[in-house]
Structure 1
């Protein structure tokens, strides 16, 4: 990821937090940006457990100006389901926060 360009084009500050000490992480170890249409609207912190084949979603974060409606949530949920399928996952578990407007679209 080209940080300067991402910030300039999308007004979105993104940092991988893998090497950030746990107590200093803002979003999570494996945090990934959420691209919806032509905007970066949030972040997801996923973890795939290879033994159980479960995709664990530790948290989903929305940017302050992100659309907060069910159809956006459905698009994000579909992308997470595609990620689980790509990884060979059999289940998705949502552990913590999901923005309220998106929550009903997540199973």
Structure 2
């Protein structure tokens, strides 16, 4: 039996069960859950980086967004609050839409 030891979407056990396969799961403690959310976010970001076609890239972005929502719930922050923080940072420092790539800055 393959061992995964990773955070999965909530319906994965049900999907496995429907195949008739045996499996084991456990519910993570809050600190473990946050750690696993961060690890999963890294995994999904790497998959986004490796995606070669738009459809795959957008699916990885959807996974990342789902992890953002789960992480916000752990921190007790609403998506609206996150959006306000994003907008505030964008107002102060700009966004990333212009594709500016910094090469170097003179030392003092």
Normalising by structure 2, we get a TM-score of 0.31
Higher strand share: 1
Normalising by structure 1, we get a TM-score of 0.32
Higher helix share: 2
Higher Cα Rg, which structure: 2
Q: Which has the higher contact order (CA 8 A, sep 6+)?
A: 1
